[in-house]
């Protein structure tokens, strides 16, 4: 018997939640006063440069 689609979808979401949770324990915490402005356009800031097309 195959595992149902809703169950597999929940497993995918759970794995993402575990990744984000574990990362929160290991990475530098986010400073709420240092978060970037809502949108890059008009912010005056350069983009981070971390993209698939970057080497």
Partner 1 sequence: MIARRVGLTAFALVLVGLTFAWAGPRAAFLVAIGLGFGLVLEGLRFGFAGPWRAMVADRDARGLLAQLGAIGVTAAVALPLLAMAPNELSGAHAPVGIGMILGAFVFGIAMQIVLGCGSGTLVNAGSGNIVGLVALAGFVAGSFAGTLHLGFWTGLGTLPTLTLQGIAGPTGGLVLTLAGLAAVGAVAWRRAEAGKRIPPVRLWIAAGLIAVLAILNLVVAGQSWGIVYGLGLWGAKVAQAGGADLAATAFWSAPANAERLGASILTDVTSLTNIGLIAGAYLAMRWKSDPGAPPAALTVPSWVAVLVAGLVLGYSARMAFGCNVGAFFSGISTGSLHGWVWFAAAFAGSGLGLRLRPRLLVQRAMIHRGQPA
Task: Provide the binding-site residues for partner 1, judged by CB under 8 A.
Answer: 2-13, 16, 19-20, 22-24, 26-30, 32, 35-55
Residue 31 C-beta: closest distance to partner 1, Å: 10
What does the buried/exposed string (b/e) look like for 4-27 if buried means 16 or more CB atoms within 10 Å of the residue's CB? eeeeeeeeeeeeeeeeeeeeeeee
Residue 55 C-beta: closest distance to partner 1, Å: 6
Residue 26 C-beta: closest distance to partner 1, Å: 6
CA–CA–CA angle 20, 11, 30 (5° rounding) = 10
């Amino acid at each position: 018997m195959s595992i149902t689609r809703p169950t597999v979808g929940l497993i995918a979401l759970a794995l993402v939640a575990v990744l984000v949770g574990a990362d929160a324990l290991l990475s530098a915490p986010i400073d709420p006063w240092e978060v970037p402005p809502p949108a890059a356009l008009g912010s005056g800031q350069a983009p981070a440069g971390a993209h698939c097309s970057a080497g």
